[in-house]
Amino acid sequence: MLFIRTMLLVISASSVLVGQAWASGKLTAEQVSGNSVKPNLVIILTDDQGYNDVGFNGSPDIRTPNIDNIAAQGTRFTNGYVTFPVCGPSRAGLLTGRYQGRFGFTINPTIDPSVEQNGIPTSEKNIAEVLQPAGYKSAIIGKWHMGTHPDLRPNQRGFDFFYGFLSGGHRYFPEELTINDLGDVKNKFDWYKTRLLRNETREDISKYLTDELSDEAVEFIKREKDNPFFLYVAYNAPHAPVQATQEYLDRNQHIKDKKRRTYAAMISSVDDGVGRIMETLQQQGIDDNTLVVFLSDNGGAKTNGSDNGELRGHKNLLFEGGVRVPFAMRWPGKIPAGVDYHQPISSLDIMATIVSQANVDTSDNKPLDGVDLIPFLTGDIKGQPHDVLFWRHVKTDSHALRRGDDKIVHDRQGDYLFDMQNDFVEQDNLLPQKAAQYQTLEKEYQAWEAQLIDAIFPGLNHWPKTTSVKKSKKNKKKNKNKAKQK
């Protein structure tokens, strides 16, 4: 009897607590489903931002106080990886939680909207598609890059709201966005000039693109605060073209190099946006129930003024500078605050983490390659989340594998074995001394690669057939030379 009374007291006490929180706007009917509160997920993804280009990784010149707060109030990953060193395939891995080579997303896709295979195949489910049946509202704001065919666009792929553009990059100033639709694209990279899409409708913008995207992210949170939601803020900054407004350039006058200053200014705009997103979560009383993840889709590019610090290489390479990215996660009360986590983790883990934490049934899905990071971060599970991570880059005939502190890389220049514990800068190739060990790891890679399939769509250069002005000039010169030789 006493036991039953105690239980009744506990139940009514927790009902009162839930009721109070509900009344204060902290929890909603949709969030309190059964006995579990479904967490919101916010992914803030930047584009081509170098490992060293955030304050939390020690940037000497770029200031990111708001992005740094995610790490300071959460966990910073010093070995946070993406699955590919270039935009498209990296995003396909992040959004599905599966190595994108499993479904043939091996390259930046063509922008040609007539290609039905051009994106994540419908046989795969992305985060929004998995969360939708569980009552989530999802938005992608910014860069999609996961297919331009009408069946593959965000609204057909689980996203309730889309504000942004379909291609892999975009120009930043309103007056440059003059093309009404992909059908009007005549030259390569003119798709960077399309007017923005609000779901299926084209519209003009009035502000610098990054600021415009932040506005929409803030509005989405305000609109959907009473539902569990997934907000995917896919900033194209600081991807080329390197363009910034005077306001942000002024903030970076301490940087002498013009390209680096403009690149830094682009990140200043992102950082302001992150600050406003975090502030909005707090104002709506939902920041404790929101998992926020910040990362870049690949390492800093060679040409945009980025800095990968001591890491070797850059975008497009499988050395650390291409695939190890600034990566932090915040979830007050759920994961440790202000600490570093050094074990290798992956963008693949974001999907696995949210479906596990939200108790979403994924038994109908194909197996995920990521793992729920939360028990590893809290220390409930000892050991490392991944025994091994893999990378395949078909176009450059290269691949890599990291198992513990061992990493192998194969590219057209050669084969390498590095000790990541003592040589994370990948300068000391141990292959000559440890050939047998290299072979063992190479065999493990080959066994994994056997599970992958070839590219299912043509690459970026497939369309339109016309060449760019620059290329035409080059070809003219080539033809001239040929004529001379004759």
Judged by the rule CB under 5 A, the positions of this chain that interact with Ca ion are 47-48, 87, 297-298
CB of 295 to Ca ion, least distance (A): 11
Amino acid type, 483: A
| CA torsion angle 119 355 164 182 (round to 10) | 10
- Closer CB to Ca ion, 40 or 236, in the complex: 236
Cβ-proximal residue to Ca ion, closest one: 87
- Closer CB to Ca ion, 27 or 87, in the complex: 87
Helix, strand, coil % in the chain, rounded to nearest 5? 35, 20, 45
CA–CA distances in Å: residue 179 to residues 155, 162, 170, 186: 21, 19, 12, 10
- Please give the sequence-ordered ranges of beta strands (E in DSSP) within 435-474, or none if there are none: none
Active site (annotated) includes residue 87: yes
CB of 302 to Ca ion, least distance (A): 12
- CB-neighbour burial class of residue 195 (10 A; exposed 0-12, middle 13-18, buried 19+): middle
Question: Which residues contact residue 471 at a Cβ distance below 8 angstroms, ignoring those fewer than 6 apart?
Answer: none
Crossing angle between the packed helical segments 258-283 and 209-224, to the nearest 10 degrees: 10
- Closer CB to Ca ion, 47 or 272, in the complex: 47
CA–CA distances in Å: residue 140 to residues 52, 197, 362, 390, 483: 26, 11, 22, 27, 51
- Closer CB to Ca ion, 52 or 298, in the complex: 298
- Closer CB to Ca ion, 96 or 298, in the complex: 298
- Closer CB to Ca ion, 49 or 132, in the complex: 49
Please tell me the distance from the alpha carbon of residue 361 to that of residue 51, in angstroms, as a whole number.
Answer: 35
Out of 87, 170, 386, 399, pick the active-site residue.
87
- Closer CB to Ca ion, 48 or 211, in the complex: 48
User: Among 60, 74, 81, which Cα is nearest to 420's?
Assistant: 81
CB of 304 to Ca ion, least distance (A): 10
CB of 311 to Ca ion, least distance (A): 16
CB of 90 to Ca ion, least distance (A): 7
CB 292 within 8 A of CB 298: no
Active site (annotated) includes residue 145: yes
The Cα angle at residue 455 between residues 371 and 115, in degrees rounded to 5: 110
Q: Identify the bridge partners of residue 52 per DSSP, sorted by sequence position.
A: none
Work out the number of other CB atoms within 10 angstroms of the CB of residue 24. 9
CB of 85 to Ca ion, least distance (A): 9
Question: Which residues contact residue 433 at a Cβ distance below 8 angstroms, ignoring those fewer than 6 apart?
Answer: none
CB of 142 to Ca ion, least distance (A): 12
Work out the number of other CB atoms within 10 angstroms of the CB of residue 178. 13
User: Among 459, 458, 469, which Cα is nearest to 187's?
Assistant: 469
- Closer CB to Ca ion, 75 or 236, in the complex: 236
Work out the number of other CB atoms within 10 angstroms of the CB of residue 330. 24
CB of 316 to Ca ion, least distance (A): 10
- The residues annotated with a catalytic role in the active site are 87, 145
